Chain A
Amino acid sequence: MKELNGDKLRGHLETMVLSVLEEGDAHGLEVIRRLEDRGCGLLKLKEGTLYPALYRLQDAGKVKVVREEKPSTGRGAPRRVYCLTRKGKRQLAQGRQEWVQFADLMGSIIGAPA
């Protein structure tokens, strides 16, 4: 199978981030790791694009910073650990529902039911 890059993920990144945060609190790099694990190596995300998505979610009150962790090297800025809020959980449920509808619709249009 071909790798999935940023263009194909546009519009879905925020729901994907919410879904991996449902698994537990995580900092940015951990979010990337979880996404790649779930993507079975086919998901290739440019890591710099994660933070704008996290900021959008944070501004919308869907995720929040729970704590800051010192880097393992002891050098540099602390890592912010994000968690899902109630609003984020509701958004995730809605995102899942919308995805099922979208996949059904696309499947019926292009003749490849999900």
Chain B
Amino acid sequence: MLRYTLQRIIYMLITLFIIATLTFFLMKLLPGSPLKSQDKLTPEQITIINEKYGLNDPLPVQYVNYLGNLAQGDLGLSFQYDNRPVTEMIAGRIGPSAQLGLQALILGSIVGLILGIIAAIKHNTFFDYGATFLAVIGISIPSFVFAGFMQFVLGVKLQLLPVALWEGFSYTIMPTLALSGFVIANISRFMRTELLEVMASDYIMLAKAKGISQSGIIIKHAIRNALIPVITIIGPLAVNIMTGSLVIERIFAIPGLGEQFVKSISMNDYTVIMGTTIFYSALFIFIIFVVDILYGIVDPRIRLAGGRK
């Protein structure tokens, strides 16, 4: 297990280093300079600004400085927002995004698990077909379409919920639902398959032969074992919620990290784009890492084998 964890940490660091390097050089490749929009600057001003951002140094020096700063958690200064540190800008925006993401993940997991369990227990009945149908719909309808549909029906037509903005719990309902649709669909589908597989295994038959009641078997033996593989898809789903929030935050005008990222793209605020990209990537990689390690802890077969096949 220790060896596996170490191996994963090394991979994680390599990936992060590659992302940081790639981001840096891609940003240098970008056409135009951040100062281009302000053509009125005198040459002296440009020199001063270039000096401040370290743009006069040769590229390798800039690269090393950049990596050094990065290691200390310094992501540079924003080009557009009056020299505010990017780290500070990210920190100020993380709240709504984190709340939205966690709400969607928790809601999606709970509803998805319940749907999946019902579908598996009532295999080949109306409930099963209903849940399977819902899952296909949930996977197919993009979150932004779902968001638009809710805004139109619940917000504009029925006026039940606020259409946009971020001023209280009622404002979080629609974006949370929009983000959790995909999670519900995936978890219910996965849980159904896993539970059906477990129910067909020998130890369940043994439990039945011993005379344990159906509900006892399902709660004590089947669900607990079926839950283990479901952990693996939590990581990718969390990543999906985070990328989905880029669009959802824009649609609902939520002052989160995703909304800021999209804005920085349209404003060519390169340091913010770069910083947010690295922050997102690090978070993605970290979530996947935690989920993998968790999986190793929960499932002894993997712990003993010393790594996933």
Asked whether A and B interact, the reply is no
